């Protein structure tokens, strides 16, 4: 994304805070343990599931729907390709979140 939008400042989340022990999920060894096979195992067996409070879930769904609606309104292909120059138009005109 930095290559596609060099004028933007990207902040990795979560950023180090008062009790944070890591810089971001992108560098987390625990996140690296997630795999498609592990995901398939959870979906098939129902083990190791995570329950989310309904209030939080509904707010998250709203955010995801807004992102998908935004991409659809721009007829954006949200799957990455090797052509970063072509994908720069996806970020054109976007301001800070």
d(CA 26, CA 32) in angstroms, rounded, equals: 8
74-96: pLDDT as tens digits: 776 666 566 767 666 766 666 55
What are the distances in angstroms from CA 66 to CA 38, 91, 96?
A: 28, 16, 16
pLDDT for 46 equals: 86
Residues 16 and 22: beta-carbon distance below 8 Å: yes
Percent residues over pLDDT 70 in the chain: 60
State pTM to two decimals: 0.37
Sign of the Cα torsion 27, 30, 31, 32 reads positive
d(CA 57, CA 50) in angstroms, rounded, equals: 12
């Amino acid at each position: 994304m930095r290559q596609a939008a060099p004028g933007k400042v990207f902040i990795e989340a979560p950023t180090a805070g008062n009790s944070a022990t890591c810089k971001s999920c992108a560098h987390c060894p625990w996140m690296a343990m997630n795999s498609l096979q592990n995901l398939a195992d959870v979906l098939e067996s129902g083990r190791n599931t995570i329950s989310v409070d309904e209030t939080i879930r509904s707010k998250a769904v709203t955010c995801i729907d807004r992102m998908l609606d935004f991409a659809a309104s721009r007829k954006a292909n949200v799957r990455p390709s090797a052509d970063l120059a072509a994908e720069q138009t996806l970020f054109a005109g976007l301001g800070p979140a």
